[in-house]
Amino acid sequence: MAWLYALATLAVGYLLGRARLGHRLSDWANWQKYGKPTGWRYAVMFTVLSAENLGWLVAHPVQGWHAWQHRNDPPPPRSPAPQYDPDWAAKRRARP
């Protein structure tokens, strides 16, 4: 009888993992940021995103501290734009 309970527990755990309820809730909360959430939607969105951020900081404290220290750094310089070479075909044929 215990093996039946173990099998049922594994099956329920598998189905909950496949449903990815936390991922769906996180996606929903992120989409709510772009609208005008009011009332209960704002409270749920704030709670979900806060829990997600706190969980990430608990799991990755060093990366979180590093990100906090560099949050206002300027973006890296851009690479130069590619230049058009009208003679590219001849140069390509000349290559061995």
pLDDT tens, position by position, 48-74: 999 999 999 999 999 999 999 999 999
Average pLDDT, the chain: 88
Least confident interval from 36-40, 43-47, 48-52: 36-40
Model confidence at 90: pLDDT above 90: no
What pLDDT score does 96 carry?
63
| Contact (CB, 8 A) for 29 and 48 | yes
In degrees rounded to 5, what are phi and psi of residue 64? -65, -40
What pLDDT score does 94 carry?
67
What pLDDT score does 18 carry?
86
Buried-exposed string 68-79: b where 16+ CB fall within 10 A, e elsewhere: eeeeeeeeeeee
